């Protein structure tokens, strides 16, 4: 399954790139598994990725980590944010 990943703020700084296309392993089917896979693949970013306040935006919608991931999804990995 191929997805587009976009990284923001501290996550982007630690991963060292703003975006990428990734082919996910068969077991990565939801946001929680995606974060676990990314943290294992990018140990320098593991601390930033394993924060409870981390947000995933899937196809322009804020999504819970339990949300399913589908082929072709565009997923932004974001630290907490606020408006105002």
Domain region containing 49: 2-78
Kind and range of the H or E run holding 39: helix 31-41
Residue 83 located in a structural domain? no
Sequence-ordered list of residues with C-beta below 8 angstroms from that of 14, at least 6 positions apart, any chain:
42, 44, 45, 47, 48
The pLDDT, as a whole number, for residue 82 is: 63
Inside any domain, residue 53 = yes
Domain total of the chain = 1
Q: Is residue 84 part of a domain?
A: no
Per-residue confidence in pLDDT tens, the chain, 84 aa: 999 999 999 999 999 999 999 999 999 999 999 999 999 999 999 988 988 888 999 999 999 999 999 999 999 999 876 655
């Amino acid at each position: 399954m191929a997805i587009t990943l976009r990284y923001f703020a501290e996550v982007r700084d630690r991963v060292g790139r703003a975006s990428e296309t990734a082919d996910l392993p068969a077991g990565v089917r939801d946001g929680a598994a995606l974060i676990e896979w990314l943290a294992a693949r990018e140990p320098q970013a593991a601390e930033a990725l394993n924060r409870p306040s981390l947000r995933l935006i899937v196809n322009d919608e804020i999504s819970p980590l339990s949300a399913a991931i589908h082929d072709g999804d565009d997923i932004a990995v974001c630290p907490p944010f606020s408006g105002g």
